[in-house]
Structure 1
Amino acid sequence: MVASGAELGWLTSPVEHGWEIGQRAVNGSLLYNYYICNVEEREQDNWLRTTFIQRHPTASRVFVELRFVVRDCNSFNADSLICKETFNLYASEADADIGTAFRKGLFRKVATIAPDEISSLGEMKMNIETKVVENLSRKGFYLAFQDIGACVAIYSVRVYYKTCPATVKSLAVFPETVAGGENQALREVAGSCVSNAVSEDQPRIYCTTDGEWVVPVSQCQCRPGFEAMNDTCQECQSGFFKSSVSSEACKPCPKNTQPSGPGATSCTCKDGFYRAPEDPEIAACSGLPSAPQDLVASTAQMSIGRLQLSWRPPADTGGRSDITYAVVCERCEGRACQPCGEKVRLDPSNTDLKETRVTVSELEPHLNYTFTVEARSGVSQFSNKRATISSNLTVLLPDPPKVTAMHLVDSSSTSLSLQWSVSHRSKPVATRYELMYRKKEIANGKVTTYTVLVLEKNSVQISDLSPSTVYLFKVQALSPEGNPGSYSLEQEFSTLPQGEQSQNKSVGLLIELFFFYRRRNSHTRQGPEDTYFSSPDQLKPLKTYVDPHTYEDPNTAVLKFASEIHPSHVTKQKVIGAGEFGEVYRGILKAPGRKETAVAIKTLKPGYTEKQRQDFLGEASIMGQFSHQNIIRLEGVVTKFKHAMIVTEYMENGALDKYLKDHDGEMPSFQLVGMLRGIAAGMKYLSDMSYVHRDLAARNILVNSNLECKVSDFGLSRVLEDEPEGTYTTSGGKIPIRWTAPEAIAYRKFTSASDVWSFGIVMWEVMAFGERPYWDMSNHEVMKAINEAFRLPAPMDCPSAVYQLMLQCWLQDRSKRPRFGDIVSILDKLLKSPDSLKAIADFDPRVSIRLPSTSGSDGSPFRSVAEWLESIKMSQYSENFSIAGIVSMEQVLQMKSEDIRNIGVRLPGHLKRIAYSILGLKDQTSTLI
């Protein structure tokens, strides 16, 4: 609001020799002002008070814009002048106009007004200053200007407050809103959807202290039949429609539909056109398909009772792509036709066929078959019309030959040779025979079981028979397609008594036959060779690791366990890291006879000593002994040239700890457990080879493009000795305290059990998405905590079964820890029963949310939002909080999960991390209170 003019009625104190009303011509206009210029007198205290200014009920902050002139003290000639070049602004609140009553003590100082430009006697330069009066709460207020010895002229005083103007955003109407003050940097404003728009949640937006709208929450969308246009929802035009609540525009009615009227939510199909139940309302309507074309029966296999039907798709599909076919088979004798029934087989099926062919088998001879093929689509169910094509054909199949006679060719006490005759038609066909025989005698009142032989020729020699025993035989012929003929009459033949020779000296017949015995209660047994077809994880390695340090010449170990590669076959492409001995490259290996392979190339930096070279190649001597899908694969080494190299398979996703940090919250527990299973399988392989890794950690696990994890970095690994406990004692050297078992730290004794402890830490790293074990605790604090039975708490959203396995790996008594074989079995069971991962371990934010801390580095609460976000490794969201006006930790403590999501935190893991941190901060704050 602006107050100006000659008669303002402002109060002056003192009345005499204080502020006065003046006027001055500027650019041809006469401007009024309040002025004072008592620079010759000491101890000036001159006040100018405005009239009562009514306050808007919600405006707690107002702005005071002053236009004024202050004269330069140097422009006065007198030497003894006590001159000032500033004056003061005061304010006082009241619930009613107190008239001319004036008490200086009721006023509080707002600001000292100092001009940017100080006027001399020459051309006037107007100063403009804007000051803020905060925390107003009563019905109105007064402003006052105090002069303490300056030459000042005030030309205008403009008092105003800022508002966020009435607006429409995302089809939501928000009223004009007075901006908040410092204590309410963002003022939440509820809005309402425009006519014919809806929203799941009430639209909200925030008004900043500068009168700007930010962070709109929950958008409105137009109802079905309406579209957004010029901040309103308007009806769809005729011939257009919109079927759902959305922000999309109306769409033209699709093909084969009737024109719609205004505000249509759908377009109905024309007569003869339909939509399938699964078709959306926006889909075009479809017609029925026409009949299939050119039905053909291929009779090349007719002789064995099979044929193939094929046809071409319909000329008109009705505008659909979901065409399927159904084949109906009818068997006709004379004029009577009936369904073929289950005996006739159609492969792959007789309905829902997507291919335009089908194989028909088990057809009977001398019958007429009719095949009808129908084309169907998703809309065929809406019409009684059928799109079919038929084909009639007669199937003539050859009958199997008949067995006409069977006679004995030769006999002995333990064998019989038989032969039989068959009747052939004019065109012989290949025939097999089924021979059945049994002892004639009856044992225990039951007839002995027949033995069945399937033969390729019409003769047979049967051995291993009992002497002086009568056997009954019968035989039938089988057609090429397997159809049986009728059995011959059952005939008797006897073996000779024990010791008698055959009376028929003719050479016995040696018959090639393929036979099988039809026996009841038959069983299959697994032979010893079947174990070689078991999973690699179920096999114990056939060899034991050999420590390359046992070789007098380490170079011998390298040549024994690693393949030599010519450097010309290796191409370096890009540096991807740095190891203990030199840089690591991504490159290409192109060996003769092999296709190009992406590899990782470890190099030895220049200036190395012979011992460094031996230590460098020693890792290759170790890796070269391993062959497992979860152990990094050694491709070979370069040792016979100046620049030594170790070449391994390339793992596209790098180290596991970094990969997890980069994908925090993006992978479900089931996938994380699958990665742990792979690591455990690799460690089982190593332990089965009597090998201890000593440095198992997520940083030493590599991940390929299939998210398959492989154990790597064998620089600290050592062989187990032959002593009962299988330990290796080191002398000096660094130990990764956070990953190392307590007995290995205390006594420097490493076993597979200490590797199991390390695996438990790796499990924690994986489930915590690469979080640092024990956070910011020092190594000394870690050792002290472990010895006092402290164990890492469950990470956020960690399945209870997985955390229980971690605790088993961290048992103080190493003999009670699970073995890697047990761990693999447990993880396999969890993966086979995904429901077992749904129970989540208890999560205590007071402990677990040390990410790394719930307070500043000095133990005090965080001093800023940025400092807090940095401590929980969420600094990437600092700008989101700032834009949303969340600028103080007090505001952070008021946030809920929905508020965190609304400022742009979308990843589930990040959302939970921030929410749990706020929960931990609240708990800490309440404890301090």
Structure 2
Amino acid sequence: SCADESKACAGVFVMWEVVQRTLNGSQFYTYSICNVEEREQDNWLRTTFIQRHPLASRVFVELKFIVRDCNSFDGASLICKETFNLYTSESDADVGTTFRKSQFKKVATIAPDEITGKNEMHINTETRVVDGLSRKGFYLAFQDIGACIALLSVRVFYKTCPGTVQNLATFPETVAGAENQPLTEVSGVCVDNAASEELPRIYCTEEGKWAVQVGQCQCKPGYEEVKDTCQECRPGSFKAEASSDACEPCPANTDTLEHGAVLCACKDGFFRAPTDPSTGPCSGPPSAPRDLSAVPQPSVGRLILSWTPPEDTGGRNDITYSVECQRCDGVVCHPCGERVRYEPASMKLTEARVSVSELEAHLNYTFIVEAHSGVSQLAGERGLYESTYYFIYFFLYPLNPPQITTMRLVGRTSTSLALSWDVSPRPRPQLNIRYKLTYHKKDDNLDKTTYTVLTLDKNSAQIKDLAPGTAYLFRVQALVSLVSCRCVRLTLFSLPGNPSQNYTVLLVAAVLVAMMLIVVSAVLFFRRRKRNSHTRQGPEDTYFSTPEQLKPLKTYVDPHTYEDPNVAVLKFATEIHPSHITKQKVIGAGEFGEVYRGILKAPGRKEVAVAIKTLKPGYTEKQRQDFLSEASIMGQFSHQNIIRLEGVVTKFKHAMIVTEYMENGALDRYLRDHDGEISSFQLVGMLRGIAAGMKYLSDMSYVHRDLAARNILVNNNMECKVSDFGLSRVLEDDPEGTYTTSGGKIPIRWTAPEAIAYRKFTSASDVWSFGIVMWEVMAFGERPYWDMSNHEVMKAINEAFRLPAPMDCPSAVYQLMLQCWLQDRAKRPRFGDIVSLLDKLLRSPESLKTIADFDPRVSIRLPSTSGSDGSPFRSVSEWLESIKMSQYSENFTCAGIVTMEQVLQMKTEDIKNIGVRLPGHLKRIAYSILGLKDQTSTLSVFAV
């Protein structure tokens, strides 16, 4: 039926009929209409009232239908249609059979993929989206304008993210958001015996799939994760903290008989030191030291004690020793007191050795060496059970043995001499010291010399029965108990003698010493002069001789060469306190967590807008290192066309990477949103910035490996900056976007042939990728190689196929692309050459006016005038959808352009007049029509 408020319905109207049909032996009912012989048909079929879920603002309508081939009707093919329209109308209540056409708005024109002829039947399935619903319910309506149609079924549904348990958090079933709300935040609840420091959240995408989770739940102490639940630890195991780890077996010398143990208690006889972790093993006290020995060193007045470590350390490695000294007189022993000195100390010794000095002679010393550990005090000093005692009788002077300092002639007669001598240090009264005096005639033959030896108790002697007029040589030596002094005094006494010999010896010695001092001074003088000469010719001469030497060449350092990746982060990135960062809005969900727009306000600096990458809770150490590795790389770069790293947060629980904020986002999306609005001169300027950034990276010996428009960011000044330096990057959402080899994933459409075949990534392979980026920029974000598969792309490249020039691409720019795509990587330009050439083009804008040859059938990947089965396009909407311009379907319909024959007659002014204003869209439609005309002409020639 047809009704339009008070207006009369024009044209011929026929009711849709319920028809019973048989297909493959089964009967089913359809709504059908087939009035193809009358002009200006306007036939409507409306559904009953469909109630809407309060949260479902977008629904999907799946249609199954049959459309009859117009050519199968004799004489009606000129007015017959093969499409129908889908409409919708919202309402807060069921209006019954009341119907007003003006209340409905068009959703889409439905065209079949396969049409039904006289002898065959084809069922088509199409799905359309009805978005922006807000009222309690809605109606669907189907408009026929002169086709032969059978409507088999209408399925109306909305998408939801199913209820799920992820990372021990329960999330309810959630209605997917609309197209303008791609991510819906959903809060979850931890399962029993699990907890989370922050509320677990997850995002539901518009396609009804769950995205990255934030705020992971973890099993409480005493519980472990088992199939999305938290179960108690079994006896003999424990878990001390809330974590995603499993319960651990009780450590050594501990045990527990309970379920859900948080800690394991020490077994009898074993203990934990106050500094030991409560989750660590228990240990016992050490046994006594062994094999105590003493080595006297009387020449320096000390005693060396040494021993062997205990046989049983009790399972600990913090063994220390103490040494106790006792001085014994007869049977009574007393502490040695503070006078005795120990090197390095008497307590907390870590080595099994100590030096003891300041001991007194003629005393009995007892030394007790004791072993300790962190649990000795708790165990009641059990290390003394087998203490070792060592008794030593040691006669020793306090510092040095006594020396004979002076020997004097006290008196003499013709046959006797009276001698005395001094001793230092002065002997103590209780010390038993004696002297050994030896003398002989000075002029005796050494082989026949007769020595006289006397042992004396005092430091003087009277020598008698000497030969008159004879010189005698005397030697005196101090004897202390059983230890003999090494130092003696040798003196010559004679009748009148000549002292000149002594003076001669002294004079020769003085001359030799003076000569040695002169030689040493000269050597030191020349060395100092040479060193000063090197200093004057140091950094100033090196760095200021030419401008190029003002700054030494810097080379990129792979952070993975560091044994500890955290050291690399601290070396190349600035640590930021979290209090200086303010998060404002989630702008994306990355591989490791959410990405925020925010503000950085560091002390002494003005506020700056930043992008904040976060690491989701519950990460592993490997994930944390991968997350921060990008910061370790970015922190080494400083260039206006490289994304700037502001700093990192690593010393706090929530790790973050903070970079400058690029207002316009990724380059590929920015170009698609501004298709045809940016001049060629501006596009070349953007390419020049990207090339400058890549030249800097190449000079740093850094190979990017994933240079693509999606990894270039754009700020408010249309300045481009290279980004994405993560080594574990997600290359593309599309599984066809990467090619997996034994070394990892490769973005095929952007990668040089040698890198695909042999994984040879160099600056030359980055140049190839830059050529693809140039094509993306000049094609306003078009996908390289369009819908070709990866294998088709690789095959085409190996057969010398190269991407054709984009629409309105300057010839000089396209020639540079072809240079970047040379098969021989050695012949490709370097990034320095590319920057120079782009600078030259920008200095001469007239050089950009010459446009490269353009073939619309290839350059924008237009489909042929026929579909996959070889038949021509059946509707204008099908043609517009094929060139991704379906948003203008309504414009063509309102202008009365409903057949492809009418499209082929259109000119540029006609396209403007129907409302296509964007230059890029205008050119795309115009070039498509040009290609259609060219192909139609070609088909006609073939037909002849």
TM-score (norm 1): 0.50
TM-score (norm 2): 0.49
